[in-house]
Amino acid sequence: TLTSAFIAAEDNRFYEHGGIDVIGLARAAAQLIQAGRIKTGGSTITMQVAKNFFLTRERTFIRKFNEIFLAIQIESVLSKPEILELYLNKIYLGNRAYGVKAAAQVYYGKNLDELTLAQSAMIAGLPKAPSRYNPIINPERAKIRRDWILNRMLDLNMISIAEHKAARQETTTAGYHNPQPDLSAPYIAEMARQKAVELYGSDAYTTGLRVFVTANSELQAQAQKSVINGLEAYDARHGYRGPLDNIELDGSESDAEKKQILRSYLAKTRFTPALVEESTSDQLSIFSLDGKRGHISLEQATRAAPFININKVGEPPSNFEGLFRSGDIIEARLIDNMNKDHTQTEEGEVLLHTEEATPPQEDEHQASREAIRDYSLFSFELQQSPEAQAALISIRPKDGAILALSGGYNFQMSKYNRATQAKRQPGSNFKAFIYLAALEQGKTAASLINDAPLVFEDKNLETSWRPENSSGKFYGPTRLREAFYRSRNLVSIRLLKSLGINNTLERIKKFGFNEKDLPKDLSLALGSAGITPMQIAAGYAMIANGGHYIEPYLVSRIENAQGEILFEADPYVVCDQACENENAARTETLTITTAEAEISGRNPEAPTIKVAPRIADERAVFILHSMMKDVIRKGTGRRAASMKRSDLGGKTGTTNDQKDAWFSGFNTNIATSTWVGFDEPRTLGRSEYGSRAALPIWMEYMNVALKDTPLANLKQPNGIVSVKINT
């Protein structure tokens, strides 16, 4: 039925001609002479195959001659069914559907053998103009085209009179049946796409690849939620910046025109763009993009406390006077529909069915508009999308598998993946690697360093460098443990100076950092390097696993359409005793001959596990774990002590003027890093340290990630002695 519909619509002499239809070409030529321009091309199905596979879509005589020549060649080497198969599987049918099987799924959610005659005719009407005859966008025009094809099928004796009548009476049921993902994770999806293209080039788009990722769906959903909540909480602390825009209204705009205006603001907000139609002292009357009219009361405008500057917020308004005016474009979120009986027309107008709002009969639509303005159908709350951004990366320390990743507040607003692309200064978040280098070179958690002023003179600097602690105070001789959990800058600088910069860099770069990104001066101790959140998260994962080198990876395997594995990740794995035994067994298997393999049933090609190499002294890493747990017990990350887990260690990080805020933390099973800042670096506000801006995001995520999981502490290695210190 479907093939008959296409032949009736596109080329009813398909089985009679040898690639070109002389009658069709003559008709096209006559139309060209009469109209003075190309109206139809007289193309046969074979000519369309030639065009779709080998030529461009430009409408020129040279291309048409090439099309005719190729069609004759195709007919000489392929059978009619083969040509028809190529055509039906290549033709573009709108809504990103190439081929009839895709179109059946997109428009009807069916397989080809499940389509009705009317539905087949509807799809057959699309090649002529996929947008003009799209049954979703233009159902009336598409139905006219469908019925014309049904008439053609009847005239060509392809269907009976009864079938024709029944098909024409069938209502249009097309809708957009796109696959609904279990989880929308656009930053993850884009990274997976990039990996597939890296491996297979443009074939990645056409060969039906299935890409499997390491991300956990529950953790991924929580990562995205935590980033959104953390940024909105930050934004709420800093006040309302005002409407997105203001447009001049003359009162004649239709709802459709207002929707068109609002649609242009979609890329600027995660919420619903809305137009203020009227502003009174205690209420905003608004029209939203989804066609709803409603109001925002003062109680629902708690976000309206005005932004004065990054460090100062005004008082919540007692009225709306002077804050909003007609024509303002704002961001809003629907609260409820106030339980009123109403319907919505195709134009987006809301019509009431309550007795008190019954309009006079002489002008139903005008009266309903007046009723809408008199009765607030929907209740909204004022919202604002943050300007600040964030990233979260969660890694399995054992092998580097990425469990969750969020590259920003909203992918549709900004596709820039801050987790992998943004090089930012980590500040004190980087001190973990400096202190580990010190522990490896003989320092202990009890070693004393003088927390006292330092002045550096450098001919390359305009003024002397006088680094300070965040408190502006100095505390004298301080143990490394306390200096770390209180994040004392002067101790870190003196420590790095005593270790030697080059010596420390040699140890730090083992954690996967690019040496070119690391400054070769004492500012390294304060995290002045430009490093991506992914690199920081990977480094912390290597600390979490006891000091073994791993590489973050997202794509675990890629299969073709037949389920055959084309690519499989081969990560470094931190090996315990069971792993080492398994590796030994696999190595033994590799040494046996093929004949022995056939007798024993072993696979001589069984791969060995790629054991993660050790990059840091296990004793130094164990001591660092202890120090990092103190950050949460009694240091800058003590807010996380409310999680009541004794296996967590971490470190805050804040750069100069609070331009970047960080928190990275872990147990031995999961390591997670969070970053908050503006894309164009500027201060987050004087009180927005890592403990306030980034740590809450980390905590919200880790509370879910660690729920119902046992404690996971690093096992104490040999060669560790605990000694009480006389404070």
Catalytic residues: 10, 428
The three-state secondary structure class of 219 is helix
Sign for the CA dihedral angle at 510, 512, 514, 518 comes to negative
Q: Strand 312-313 to strand 307-309: parallel, antiparallel, or no bridges (unpaired)? A: antiparallel
Neighbours of 718 (CB within 10 A): 6
The three-state secondary structure class of 284 is strand
Q: Strand 565-568 to strand 312-313: parallel, antiparallel, or no bridges (unpaired)? A: unpaired
Angstrom distance (rounded) from CA 400 to CA 403: 9
The three-state secondary structure class of 87 is helix
Query: Could you tell me which of 190, 155, 148 has the C-alpha nearest to residue 406?
Result: 190
Q: Which two tokens stand for residue 120?
A: 């087949």
Sign for the CA dihedral angle at 209, 215, 220, 224 comes to negative
Q: Strand 476-479 to strand 328-336: parallel, antiparallel, or no bridges (unpaired)? A: unpaired
Tell me the angle at which helices 117-124 and 139-155 cross, rounded to the nearest 10 degrees. Answer: 110
Q: Which two tokens stand for residue 656?
A: 């100069």
Q: Strand 572-573 to strand 610-611: parallel, antiparallel, or no bridges (unpaired)? A: parallel
Query: Could you tell me which of 364, 138, 348 has the C-alpha nearest to residue 257?
Result: 348
User: Apex CA 260: angle with CA 259 and CA 264, to 5°?
Assistant: 110
Give CA separation, 279 vs 242, 285, 286, 306, 323, in Å. 14, 6, 9, 17, 9
User: Apex CA 673: angle with CA 432 and CA 641, to 5°?
Assistant: 80
Neighbours of 456 (CB within 10 A): 14
CB 276 within 8 A of CB 328: yes
Give CA separation, 630 vs 487, 557, 624, 636, 678, in Å. 11, 39, 10, 9, 30
Number of H helices, E strands in the chain: 24, 22
Residues comprising the chain, all counted: 727
Report helix, strand and coil shares of the chain as percent, to nearest 5: 45, 15, 40
The three-state secondary structure class of 432 is helix
* Helix residue ranges per DSSP H, 500-647: 501-508, 533-544, 577-591, 594-600, 618-634
Q: Which two tokens stand for residue 458?
A: 């450098």
Angstrom distance (rounded) from CA 185 to CA 417: 12
Angstrom distance (rounded) from CA 408 to CA 305: 25
Angstrom distance (rounded) from CA 6 to CA 469: 76
CB 481 within 8 A of CB 446: yes
Work out the end-to-end distance of the chain between its first and last CA atoms, rounded to an integer number of angstroms. 90
CB 490 within 8 A of CB 474: yes
Sign for the CA dihedral angle at 123, 127, 128, 134 comes to positive
Q: Which helix (H) or strand (E) holds 677?
A: strand 670-677
Q: Which helix (H) or strand (E) holds 671?
A: strand 670-677
